[in-house]
Amino acid sequence: MHGRAQGHPGRSYLPSSPRLPQLTVQMTDSATLPTVYIETYGCQMNVSDSELMLGKLAASGYQPVDKPDGADVILVNTCAVRDHAEQRVIGRLGELKRHMNPNTVVGVTGCMAQRLGPQLLEQARHVSLVIGPDGYRALPELLAGARHGQRSVVVEFDSEEHYEDFQPRRTAGVKAWIPVQRGCDYRCTYCIVPYTRGPERSRKLDDVVREVRAVVADGISEVVLLGQTVNSYTDGEHDFADLLRAMGRVDGLRRVRFTSPHPNDFSDRVIAAMAEVPNVCGHVHLPMQSGSSRTLKRMLRRYSREEYLDCVRRMREAMPALSFTTDIIVGFPGETEEDFAETLSAVSEVGFDDAYTFKFSLRDGTPATRLPAELTVPDEVAGERLQRLIHLVRDGARQRNMGIIGRHDEVLVEKVSRRGELLQTRTRDFKTVLVPGDESLIGQYLDVQLTGTTGSTFTGAVIQRRRPLPLAG
């Protein structure tokens, strides 16, 4: 998916609910539950999948733990989008040996598992399970087998699978990830995702609404709808516009976000729904990938520079204050200095508030491997372009951010900031604001005034606390 490639490396999971999981597997002699640790790499879809796996395993008698040391089961949920992501997992799998006890079962799940399949079992002798994104339903049985020495690989696609009956064990704090679509039917030539996550399929609108109502009843007021090309959502009867409007009818749901859309799937209906549904937030992450029509054509993105800019224009016409972030790849085969200059100028023209920028990474099995070798952009050239792009994005964001100091905003308190003295909060248009306060405010809404910016994040003064959230019905 286009989701933030900043990922959640090394993210670990604490049980989010004090309730004990139901026992449906045999207990160990000491009557303690077998423990499971999941480490997640990559995009939000992976984070959401880990929540589903953890929920399934908790319901099957496993106790989630937040450290790998001595866990009975260690799962590494992986990403295959860039080679770098895979190399980190390979390194991490080696490190995890230190945390294993003689009976620990190690499994690799996610896109890298799907891509490498049995090869992973050969490469890493201490791994006994390799399970692709559509294989998690069988996890409890596979783990039971693995605990008796079986090694298995599950990499079949199941174009119906949504894990509808799984109860996710949520780990995202004040917001909830809601997968609404799995897989991808685009075939962007650089991208491995269609081959690791299979064909696009959407959940039924009613199932999504039911899940969202349940998280709101649990006190969560922000959801992020997830899909590889989330705005192409269709359950046969409803499109993404219908889904957004249905979100607008959920009492107590104050913020709706989604990631990541494809520019070609922003129909007028979807744009109108975004503009008209009050809880849909004024920020969109709209992957551009390149600002050069020539490069976009080679990437098979199915839009030109002009069409991308036109999509931005249509959205701004309907929502003048909409904030944009994006993903950009530099050094795609054949990218000339002229092409890159077009990317820079498109960045300036749109005025992105942030961009996730990547050097092109050639993935085995993608159509880009068939491009002539002489089109390869040397690594130093790509590295230098990446630096120029990062500077341009940063300078543009700083300028825009300086321009809004003094603005009043409603923020949601997400957590205590990394340094521990302030609270990290988020505006509706996805800006990070650090404000004074204590952790009792987590999950609450505040009115703040933006008082300063580092260029990327803000400091804020609290003006007032919003009324407590209404109890959801």
Closest distance of CB 326 from ligand 5AD, Å:
8
Dist. CA 160–CA 439, nearest whole Å: 41
Tell whether residue 115 is a contact of ligand 5AD (CB under 6 A).
no
Closest distance of CB 232 from ligand SF4, Å:
9
Tell whether residue 244 is a contact of ligand SF4 (CB under 6 A).
no
Tracing tokens 């709209």 back to the chain, one arrives at 286
**Strand pairing partners for 458?**
433, 453
**Strand pairing partners for 358?**
329
Tell whether residue 81 is a contact of ligand 5AD (CB under 6 A).
yes
Tell whether residue 430 is a contact of ligand SF4 (CB under 6 A).
no
Helix and strand numbers (H, E) in the chain are: 13, 19
Selected binder of ligand SF4 within 262, 385, 426, 428 (CB under 6 A): 262
Give the Å distances, CA to CA, from 359 to 39, 107, 228: 25, 29, 20
Closest distance of CB 170 from ligand SF4, Å:
24
Nearest to 182 by CA among 214, 158, 151: 158
**Cis bond before residue 345 (omega within 30° of 0):** no
Selected binder of ligand 5AD within 157, 190, 195, 340 (CB under 6 A): 190
Tell whether residue 228 is a contact of ligand SF4 (CB under 6 A).
yes
Up-side HSE of residue 111: CA atoms within 13 Å toward CB? 28
Element (DSSP H or E) covering residue 329 = strand 323-330
Binding residues for ligand SF4 restricted to 196-225, rule: CB under 6 A: none
- The dihedral of CA 370, 374, 378, 382: what is its sign? negative
Q: Residue 81: which of ligand 5AD, ligand SF4, none does it interact with, CB under 5 to 8 A by kind?
A: ligand 5AD
Q: Which amino acid is at 155?
A: V
Closest distance of CB 184 from ligand SF4, Å:
3
Nearest to 225 by CA among 238, 244, 242, 207: 244
Nearer to ligand SF4, 2 or 162 (CB): 2
Q: Residue 194: which of ligand SF4, ligand 5AD, none does it interact with, CB under 5 to 8 A by kind?
A: ligand SF4
Tokens of 55: 């929920």
Closest distance of CB 192 from ligand SF4, Å:
8
Tell whether residue 290 is a contact of ligand SF4 (CB under 6 A).
no
Nearer to ligand SF4, 144 or 300 (CB): 300
Label the pairing between strands 432-435 and 458-465.
Answer: parallel
Expressed in percent and rounded to 5, the helix, strand and coil fractions of the chain are 35, 20, 45
Q: How many residues bind ligand SF4 (CB under 6 A)?
A: 12
Nearer to ligand SF4, 77 or 290 (CB): 290
Tell whether residue 361 is a contact of ligand 5AD (CB under 6 A).
yes
Q: Measured at CB, which residue is nearest to ligand 5AD?
A: 327
Closest distance of CB 322 from ligand SF4, Å:
21
Tell whether residue 244 is a contact of ligand 5AD (CB under 6 A).
no
Nearer to ligand 5AD, 1 or 256 (CB): 1
Dist. CA 152–CA 394, nearest whole Å: 46
Nearest to 37 by CA among 10, 18, 19, 60: 10
Closest distance of CB 231 from ligand SF4, Å:
11
Q: Binding string, 155-194, against ligand SF4, x = CB under 6 A?
A: -----------------------------x-xxx--x-xx
Closest distance of CB 391 from ligand 5AD, Å:
19
Tell whether residue 423 is a contact of ligand SF4 (CB under 6 A).
no
Selected binder of ligand 5AD within 36, 96, 205, 329 (CB under 6 A): 329
Neighbours of 28 (CB within 10 A): 11
Complete edge-to-edge strand list for the sheet that includes strand 152-154? 63-64, 35-40, 73-78, 105-110, 127-131, 152-154
Closest distance of CB 393 from ligand 5AD, Å:
13
Selected binder of ligand 5AD within 41, 352, 360, 458 (CB under 6 A): 360
Neighbours of 213 (CB within 10 A): 17
Cα 75 vs. chain centroid, distance in angstroms? Answer: 18
Dist. CA 381–CA 334, nearest whole Å: 12
Neighbours of 219 (CB within 10 A): 12
Neighbours of 141 (CB within 10 A): 11
Closest distance of CB 80 from ligand 5AD, Å:
9
Nearer to ligand 5AD, 262 or 428 (CB): 262
Which residues would be at the binding site for ligand 5AD (CB under 6 A)? 2, 5, 81-82, 190-191, 287, 289, 327, 329, 358, 360-361, 363
Which residues would be at the binding site for ligand SF4 (CB under 6 A)? 1-2, 184, 186-188, 191, 193-194, 228-229, 262
